[in-house]
A and B are shown apart, each in its own frame.
Chain A
Amino acid sequence: MSSVAAQQRRRSVAPAQAPVSADGPRLSRKHREWLAAGLFLAPDVLGLLVFVAVPMVLSIGLSFFQVSGFGSYEWIGLGNYERMMNDPLFWDSMKITGLYVVILVPVLFGVSLGLGLLVKQKLPGVGVFRTALFLPYVISLVVVGVLWKFLLDEQTGVVNRAMRAAGFGGESWLGSPSLALGCVIAVMVWVMMGYYMIIFLAGLQEIPREFYEAARIDGAGPWTTFRTITWPLLRPTSFFVLLMSTVAAITGGLDLIFVLTNGGPANGTSLAIFYIYQQAFGFGEYGYASAMGSFLVLIMVLISAVIFKLTRGGRFDDGE
């Protein structure tokens, strides 16, 4: 990074080259470049400001207000946070989110890494496997939700049909809180595994082949090779996957929950993000929902910091 920047700072064109512009007062080459940069950046910077940065700040500000209906804001200080602390439903949703993240992220990590290692092999038809494993990712979570609701139906679903055919009893998959949460996790793994598989594959392909050849000459088995070469050199990719999947798990999946379980049964799949959505757009509690949202962001920042520490920021400069 820094070397690229330094290279660019080095002037490769003589500064005296500035062509005379015919119109208006003559700007120096340097200033023309500044002006051009400003114009090139204006749309995106303005857009990000209005639709990302301002809402982010607003979100924190809003959390100190009681918002009731159209444009009626009343400053209540930490009132929303106090309410949050005493809201058992919110803490239930946080517990469910914790459980969801703690199961989903490692499973997704393991499955995707396994698939990445698998489709890195020179297997016959490996291109077809990659395609097949990635395919669920292109389908929207709404359609995914509809589809799995059909497959998991207690009476008519294919999953229970198969189980009964194999001699088991059918389960009420979406009917009990813990099973339903398990289903949401399983479906998420099914959707996302191909995406992270490709990311792992890219990371694996970055590892120089000579390392593996050297290991083979040394007589290292597959496990030793994985432990001493693949795993440490894959650290930047692992960091990326851990961080992305954790953030996605905490803030995403709203679409799937809406369609597959709608938070039920008995709030068993009411993730924090779903509860916050309900408070805001179901009951118009924008201030309260913003407080909970800000709290969620804080948690996310903390988790990111922990992952950053654990994976040493995805760097591996301690190796050699």
Chain B
Amino acid sequence: MASDTMAPRSGRRLLSPRAGLTALAVVLSLISIFPVLWMLTSSFKTRATVTDGNLIPRDFTFDNFVYVFTEVPFARYLWNSFFISAVITVAALFFHSMAAYALARLRFPGREKLFGAIFATLLVTAPVVLIPLFLVARELNLLNSYAGLIIPAIFNAFGIFLLRQFYLGLPKELEEAAVIDGCGHWRVYWNIVLPMSRPILSALAIFFFLANWNAFVWPLVATNDQALTVVQLGIASFQTQYGSNWNYILAASTVAALPMLLLFFAFQRQIVESVKTSGIK
């Protein structure tokens, strides 16, 4: 607002810098969403018109979606992805918030060192340890099972780190009162700290769900069973099988992307918040 009063100093120009920037933002936004829009509309085109170069389908059809769900166990893929992502998210949030609570709030010898060690694991990125992780999973008989898709994906220091930062910022008075009243640490965590961390938990929940729904490399390595195929693997093999039947491939892609797009529109604030907090140290 303050800047508005300063603007007309040199007389009103026809094209203010702000109008120029707005125009730029419009153009960039269109470039950003255009490919996604193209995918969505193309999935309603027929085999003959899918490559016709029009954004709006001339002969609108749902058949591609019917085909995808009847020719391929796509519903199964979706369920697998949903189930795996949901279990990972719930388990990860539970374990991470417990660990973060201990690291932020409980006093024990070696606490800072342990936190440092946990933080250091953030530098170990998954693809680099893919091979030994595969061998460990094989030794533990985790290959080709839901457990194998779920358990290794739970443990990630990123969530512990963010939650610990959040807990360090919480006011201590509430827990102290509870401790004086004779509450154990579990009750303090469960009844006081968890409810207070609802905003960050919901932000992280969406973030974890998103990341695991989109996961591809570990499921590719850890499974080869049709019954365990997750949606991203389904899309990838669908694409190799159906070559240039773009109408089917794009319909399948749309089905895989749509839940995340809807989740994004519904929980935009939380997603953006979790990204923001991940960048502030």
CB atoms of A138 and B168 under 8 A apart: no
User: In whole angstroms, how far apart are the Cα atoms of A118 and B18 in the complex?
Assistant: 10
Q: Please give, as numbers and ranges, the residues of chain B lying within 8 Å of A179 by CB-CB distance.
A: none
User: In whole angstroms, how far apart are the Cα atoms of A247 and B35 in the complex?
Assistant: 27
Q: Nearest chain-B residue to A19 (Cβ)?
A: B182
Number of chain B residues close to chain A: CB under 8 A: 101
* Interfacial residues of chain A within 1-52, with CB under 8 A of chain B in the complex: 4-5, 8-9, 12-13, 17, 19, 30, 32-34, 36-38, 40-41, 43-45, 47-48, 50-52
**Is B162 part of the binding interface, using a Cβ–Cβ cutoff of 8 Å?**
no
A37, A138, A286: the one within 8 Å of B131 (CB) = A286
**Residue from the set A8, A132, A259 with the largest chain B CB neighbour count within 10 Å:** A132
CB atoms of B128 and A52 under 8 A apart: no
**Is A232 part of the binding interface, using a Cβ–Cβ cutoff of 8 Å?**
no
**Is A161 part of the binding interface, using a Cβ–Cβ cutoff of 8 Å?**
yes
**Is B196 part of the binding interface, using a Cβ–Cβ cutoff of 8 Å?**
no
Q: Please give, as numbers and ranges, the residues of chain A lying within 8 Å of B24 by CB-CB distance.
A: 118
Write out, one digit per residue, whether chain A residues 245-275 have a CB within 8 A of any chain B CB (1) or not (0).
0011001101100110000000000000100
User: In whole angstroms, how far apart are the Cα atoms of A195 and B135 in the complex?
Assistant: 33
**Is A150 part of the binding interface, using a Cβ–Cβ cutoff of 8 Å?**
yes
Q: Please give, as numbers and ranges, the residues of chain B lying within 8 Å of A229 by CB-CB distance.
A: none
Write out, one digit per residue, whether chain B residues 99-118 have a CB within 8 A of any chain A CB (1) or not (0).
10111011111011010001
Partner-binding segment picked from A78-86, A120-128, A167-175: A120-128
* Interfacial residues of chain B within 8-35, with CB under 8 A of chain A in the complex: 18, 21-22, 24-26, 28-30, 32-33, 35
User: In whole angstroms, how far apart are the Cα atoms of A147 and B38 in the complex?
Assistant: 9
Of the A-B pairs whose beta carbons lie under 8 Å apart in the complex, a sample of 22, sorted by A's number, is A30-B107, A33-B107, A40-B98, A40-B102, A40-B106, A41-B102, A44-B99, A48-B118, A123-B25, A129-B28, A143-B39, A143-B235, A150-B246, A158-B38, A199-B279, A202-B280, A203-B279, A251-B125, A258-B236, A277-B217, A293-B130, A296-B128
Using CB atoms and an 8 Å cutoff, list the residues of chain B in contact with chain A.
2-3, 6, 18, 21-22, 24-26, 28-30, 32-33, 35-36, 38-39, 42, 51, 53, 95-96, 98-99, 101-103, 105-109, 111-112, 114, 118, 121, 123-136, 140, 151-152, 154-155, 157, 160, 168, 172, 176, 179-180, 182, 184-186, 189, 210, 213-214, 216-217, 220-221, 232, 235-236, 239, 246, 249-250, 253, 256-257, 260-261, 263-265, 268, 271-272, 275-281
Using CB atoms and an 8 Å cutoff, list the residues of chain A in contact with chain B.
4-5, 8-9, 12-13, 17, 19, 30, 32-34, 36-38, 40-41, 43-45, 47-48, 50-56, 58-59, 62, 115, 118-119, 121-126, 128-136, 138-143, 146-151, 153, 155-158, 161, 190, 193-195, 198-199, 201-203, 206, 213, 216, 236-237, 240-241, 247-248, 251-252, 254-255, 258-259, 273, 277, 280-281, 286, 289-290, 293, 296-297, 300-301, 304, 314
